């Protein structure tokens, strides 16, 4: 009996299972960013069902229709991240090797830092999903990819050139401790993808710039780092406000509980302490608050009725 149809599927489970076969962790991260919506795929590439799939959260349950849309989308993303983009970079490296224009460090830098610029170039140049074969890619898209890789290479060479502004900023105050350790060990580590001075083109570009620290200079990098700290501080402010409101609410509930308990002990002395505590707790702290208040009201009404009956003295 086939139980796969009956198995509850979440978006995260489908994506993780589908990306398990990808070659490297970096490529899995590149594909995950697209499928989990951290980087937006151009809308014109997507069907309506695929847009619904991308809009879901990780833990969202998938119905049959949405799961089918996801299973249709995942191979396209895998083809892009694990097939076309690496092949385009390899093709560029082969053409550069014929010119003896690259040293081993530059080749490795293009393999690490090239996928994101290539992805962005494809997003801008292609009106729909590109073919898996680089030779079938439109000339305008190939030109955009080559230009993106040339820009990555040029920026690296500018930063490594002695006395250049890029080389000075590479060791400036914005360099992290981890990057400094890698430099001492002889490994430059991942280098941010630099951008032009103009602002981000859309929400995807803004998110990508911020998460990758992609800048075109020290001043822009400083602004993005400040923005990151602003997000952290704003999160702390919201957490502090939530904590203060929670404590104030707890204090109000404690005072209300005490007042209800004292009122019950005064106006309904025939109730035991435990009964008064149960009614006060039900009135304040549980979903039976209305029931608790009702019980307290009935007890008070019964007490007043007994006081009003002739020939009967209320208990001392």
3-state secondary structure the chain: CCCCCCCCCEHHHHHHHHHCCCCCHHHHHHHHHHHCCCCCCCHHHCCHHHHHHHHCCCCCECCHHHHHHHHHHHHHHHHHHHHHHHHHHHHHHHHHHHCCCCCHHHHHHHHHHCHHHHHHHHHHHCCCCCCCCHHHCCHHHHHHHHHHHHHHHHHHHHHHCCCCHHHHHHCCCCCCHHHHHHHHCCCCCCCCCCCCCCCCCCHHHHHHHHHHCCCCCHHHHHHHHHHHHHHHHHHHHHHHHHHHHHHHHHHHHHHHHHHHHHHHHHHCCCCCHHHHHHHHHHHHHCCCHHHHHHHHHHHHHHHHHHHHCCCCCCCC
Distance CA 52, CA 263 (A): 56
Q: Is-contact 57 2, C-beta < 8 A?
A: no
Q: Which residue's structure tokens are 């040293």?
A: 103
Which of 45, 121, 64, 51 is closest to 88 using CA atoms? Answer: 121
**Tokens representing residue 275 in the block:** 């009964």
Residues 6 or more apart whose Cβ sits within 8 Å of residue 70: 11, 14, 15, 50, 53, 62
Distance CA 285, CA 265 (A): 19
**Tokens representing residue 285 in the block:** 């702290």
Q: What is the pLDDT along the chain (316 residues), one digit of tens a residue?
A: 444 445 678 888 898 888 887 767 888 888 888 998 888 899 899 999 999 999 888 888 888 898 899 899 999 999 998 889 989 988 888 887 776 667 788 888 888 888 899 999 999 999 999 988 888 889 899 899 988 888 888 888 787 765 544 444 444 433 443 443 343 333 444 444 444 455 556 656 666 655 555 555 566 666 666 777 777 888 889 889 999 988 888 888 888 888 888 888 888 887 888 878 877 777 776 544 556 566 666 766 776 676 655 544 444 4
φ/ψ (deg, to 5) at 10: -105, 165
Q: Which residue's structure tokens are 């991240």?
A: 81
pLDDT, residue 73, reads: 92
**Tokens representing residue 40 in the block:** 């937006």
φ/ψ (deg, to 5) at 315: -60, 145
pLDDT, residue 46, reads: 92
pLDDT, residue 252, reads: 82
Question: Hey, which residues does 61 pair with through a beta bridge?
Answer: 10
Radius of gyration from C-alpha coordinates of the chain: 32
Q: Which residue's structure tokens are 């898996």?
A: 132
Q: Is-contact 10 58, C-beta < 8 A?
A: yes
**Tokens representing residue 16 in the block:** 């993780």
Q: Is-above-0.75 flag for pTM? A: no
Question: Hey, which residues does 10 pair with through a beta bridge?
Answer: 61
């Amino acid at each position: 009996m086939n139980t796969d149809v009956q198995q509850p599927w979440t978006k995260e489970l489908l994506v993780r299972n589908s990306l398990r076969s990808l070659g490297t962790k970096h490529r899995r991260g590149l594909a995950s960013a697209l499928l989990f919506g951290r980087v937006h795929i151009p809308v014109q590439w997507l069907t309506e069902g695929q847009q619904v799939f991308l809009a879901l959260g990780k833990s969202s349950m998938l119905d049959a229709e949405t799961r089918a849309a996801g299973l249709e989308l995942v191979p396209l993303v895998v083809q892009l991240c694990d097939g076309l983009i690496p092949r385009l970079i390899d093709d560029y490296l082969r053409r550069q090797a014929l010119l003896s224009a690259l040293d081993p460090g530059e080749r490795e830098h293009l393999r690490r830092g090239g996928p994101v610029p290539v992805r962005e170039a494809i997003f801008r140049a292609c009106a729909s999903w590109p073919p898996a074969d680089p030779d079938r890619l439109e000339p305008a898209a190939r030109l955009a990819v080559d230009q993106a890789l040339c820009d990555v290479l040029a920026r690296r060479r500018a930063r490594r050139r002695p006395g250049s502004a890029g080389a000075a900023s590479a060791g400036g105050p914005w360099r992290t401790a981890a990057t400094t350790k890698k430099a001492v060990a002889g490994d430059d580590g991942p280098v941010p993808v630099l951008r032009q001075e103009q602002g981000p083109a859309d929400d995807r570009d803004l998110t990508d710039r911020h998460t990758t620290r992609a800048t075109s200079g020290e001043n822009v990098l400083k602004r993005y780092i400040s923005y990151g700290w602003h997000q952290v501080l704003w999160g702390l402010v919201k957490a502090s406000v939530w904590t203060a409101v929670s404590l104030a609410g707890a204090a109000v509930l404690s005072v209300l509980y005490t007042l209800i308990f004292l009122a019950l002990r005064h106006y309904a002395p025939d109730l035991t302490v435990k009964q008064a505590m149960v009614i006060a707790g039900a009135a304040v702290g549980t979903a039976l608050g209305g029931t608790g208040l009702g019980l307290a009201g009935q007890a008070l009404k019964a007490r007043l009725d007994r006081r009003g009956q002739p020939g009967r003295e209320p208990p001392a």
